[in-house]
Amino acid sequence: MSRRVIGYLTWYPVLVAAALVMALPLLWMITTAFKSNGQVINMAAPFLPVHWEFGNIARAWEAAPFARFYLNSIIFTVAASLGQVITSAMSGYAFARVDFPGKTLLFYLILMGLMIPFTAVMVPVVKLVNSFGWINTYQGLIVPNIQSAFGMFLFRQYFLGLPTEVEDAGRVDGASQVRIFTSIALPLALPMVSAFGLLSFLTNWNNFLYPLLVTSSTSMMVVPLGLSIFQSQFVTQYNLLMAGALIAVIPVMIVSIFAQRSIVSGITVGSIR
């Protein structure tokens, strides 16, 4: 007990201090969003607002078409995340349970793709999207993002850790490979589905580079792009800039806070093997 108490007294202050360091920029953004611009530029002003300017959020929302940005981000994020979960689960199960020629070689080729940054392939990807006439369209945003090599790897490792006896029981009952996947393997992989789905949501919501390449009209821009335009309009009005940033990160904050346990549990369960 004494060692445990000493460990708590040693590590808890360090962890609390690290958490405060990580949370300080977020807290500064939130408090700045509700200050007047004079309070922001006054170096002697206190950390918390003297007078809370709640109207900054409404002013920032009306200064740019955030409603359209939010709609585009929701459509793009939900569709791309759903596509990544479906394709990753199917491909991960195929690599874990189905024998086909060249499986090992194909698997390593896909893993090699994880080592190539998107900046190295963005030119041919944009040319391909342009050849289909998908610039400034939802399909141009969504279709190239419905696959994930990282998700395939996670699901493969998860399915490899499942006992084969439950699948053998399905085969004895006459179930096909597709039925075994949909009725046995996929329900058992729900922790990984929820964890990877949430990670995909966070990644796609914050995606800036790819939407920047395939969209040019304001009506098709997502929230990160809209926020960059908003920033160019209010360069020196820091309170409105932080209000716009707060509008942009609210969904990410909500998902991160309430889904943190699901993300951690899904990833750790998949790594037991």
Given a cut of 90, whether residue 162 has pLDDT beyond it is no
Q: What confidence score (pLDDT) does residue 1 get?
A: 59
Q: What confidence score (pLDDT) does residue 115 get?
A: 86
Please say whether the dihedral angle defined by the alpha carbons of residues 207, 211, 216 and 222, taken in this order, is positive or negative: negative
Q: What confidence score (pLDDT) does residue 257 get?
A: 76
133 vs 2, more confident: 133
For each of the domains in the chain, give its residue range(s) and CATH number, in order of start: 59-270 (1.10.3720.10)
Q: What is the mean pLDDT of the chain?
A: 87
> What are the tens digits of pLDDT across the range 199-210?
899 899 999 999
Sequence letter at residue 208: F
Taking phi first (over 0 means left), then psi (-120 to 50 degrees means alpha), and beta for anything else, what does residue 100 get? beta
Q: How many CB atoms lie within 10 A of CB 30?
A: 15
The confidence band for 272, taking pLDDT boundaries of 50, 70 and 90, is very low
CA–CA dist 24, 5 (Å, integer): 28
Q: What confidence score (pLDDT) does residue 273 get?
A: 46
CA–CA dist 126, 120 (Å, integer): 12
Give me the residue label for tokens 């490792």: 157
> What are the tens digits of pLDDT across the range 87-137?
999 999 999 998 889 898 999 998 888 888 888 889 999 999 999 999 999
CA–CA dist 111, 113 (Å, integer): 5
